[in-house]
Amino acid sequence: MPLGVNDATNDAAVSPDAVAGCALFAGVAPTLGVGHSVALPDGATLWTFDAPLVAGGRADGVAGRLQLATGGCPGTLLDAVAALPATATDSDFATPLDLVRTGDDVWQFYETWRFAAGAPFGVKVVGRGVAKWDSQTGQFARGADLLWTADRPAYGQSALVDGAWVYAYGCEPAQDGWTRACYVARAPTLQVANVNAWQYATAVNQFTANPDDAQPILTGVGDLSIRRHPSGRLLATYILPLDTVLRVRSALGPTGPFSAPHALAQCQAATGSFCVGAVQHPELDPDAATVALTFARASFDPLPSDVTWPRLAYLALPAALP
């Protein structure tokens, strides 16, 4: 079957329930993004964010250890530090993408940006790479080379360890110019930082070493978050661009095929606002019937800082989801 199937019109009926979730790190900083998390070998949970939480200059990505109260909220942020130390070029900075753990190693996918006059918002993407967690310094050490240039899909927006492989998902605007077309690359778990080890999906369970031959695994969606759920199912969650509905699909494998979309809930957003994220955190899933997601509310107009804090929600999986 073809990889890219735009079946957004087959969406299950949108749930009338709106979810507010609970605010993480309330009062810590005005903007935190959504955040990604991973369970460290010592049992602690590490989160990374795309906004500076530490004082004293620019913080290229931020790592924080999270302590959650019984029931999952509210969160206390511990030991926030700059996660991705600045490069030698003052005009470059990095923002964190997703996290994976391979054995005792923890990897951070990241995006490198450059201040550029004339570019939209004054910045442009240089490329994307992966950095290894150093438990002694409490930082990620970036590799010497990027894995992907800016013209590739944003591999690392979501990442997954499945068997002997690390899968990195990346999305870009679809042909309609609005929704996303999402791709996947994979590398052996022991060669995550080796640019020549990555392969690119061309069909279900079929890969090539040539990134130019990559084909989308899913279209008509938003930026994906893909995780192996405690139920054993592979779940893909997302929010369509400028939308408020949190959606989920199940998959037979890391390259699909994927089920039709099902609505989980609507995020509580004021008129003129929308939500981003729907990022999964399986280490927080309480049972096989529930999924833990973070999202954030956004707008093109200024919003109060307490509105933009990341929010954690525990949502029941639809009974009809395969």
One-letter amino acid of 22: C
| 48 has pLDDT over 50 | yes
Number of DSSP helices (H) and strands (E) in the chain, helices first: 1, 24
Alpha-carbon gap, residue 101 to 110, rounded angstroms:
15
Alpha-carbon gap, residue 53 to 73, rounded angstroms:
19
The pLDDT value recorded for residue 95 is 87
The pLDDT value recorded for residue 84 is 79
Residue 145's H or E segment, with its range, is: none
| 27 has pLDDT over 70 | no
Closest CA to 155 of 143, 177, 171: 171
> 274-288: per-residue pLDDT in tens?
999 999 999 888 899
> 72-126: per-residue pLDDT in tens?
776 677 777 777 766 656 668 888 999 999 999 999 999 988 888 888 878 889 9
**Long-range residue pairs from 60-65, CB within 8 A, at least 24 positions apart, any chain:** 60/84, 60/85, 60/86, 60/93, 60/94, 60/95, 61/94, 61/95, 61/96, 61/108, 61/110, 61/140, 62/96, 63/138, 63/139, 63/140, 64/25
Strands 105-115 and 92-102: antiparallel
One-letter amino acid of 246: L
How far is C-alpha 237 from the chain's CA centre? 10
Domains annotated on the chain, with CATH: 8-316 (2.115.10.20)
The answer to whether 112 and 91 are in contact (CB under 8 A) is: no
| 268 has pLDDT over 90 | no
Which residue did the predictor score with more confidence, 63 or 192? 192
Note the helical H segments in the chain.
305-308
The answer to whether 21 and 295 are in contact (CB under 8 A) is: yes
Mean pLDDT over 25-52 rounds to 78
What is the rounded average pLDDT for all residues in the chain? Answer: 85
The DSSP call for residue 12 is: P
Half-sphere exposure of 160 (CA within 13 A, CB side): 23
Alpha-carbon gap, residue 51 to 243, rounded angstroms:
22
The answer to whether 280 and 235 are in contact (CB under 8 A) is: yes
The pLDDT value recorded for residue 74 is 66
| Confidence category of residue 12, pLDDT binned at 50, 70, 90 | low
| Confidence category of residue 57, pLDDT binned at 50, 70, 90 | low
> 280-322: per-residue pLDDT in tens?
999 888 899 999 999 988 888 888 777 878 889 999 999 999 9
| 243 has pLDDT over 50 | yes
One-letter amino acid of 283: E
Closest CA to 37 of 291, 282, 286: 282
| 7 has pLDDT over 60 | no
| Confidence category of residue 206, pLDDT binned at 50, 70, 90 | very high
Share of the chain above pLDDT 70, in %: 86
How far is C-alpha 210 from the chain's CA centre? 24
Cis peptide, bond prior to residue 257, ω within 30 of zero: yes
| Confidence category of residue 186, pLDDT binned at 50, 70, 90 | very high
Alpha-carbon gap, residue 95 to 15, rounded angstroms:
33
The answer to whether 231 and 282 are in contact (CB under 8 A) is: no
The pLDDT value recorded for residue 183 is 98
Contacts (Cβ under 8 Å, ≥6 apart) of 243? 222, 274, 275
Q: Which two tokens stand for residue 295?
A: 């999202």
The pLDDT value recorded for residue 9 is 43
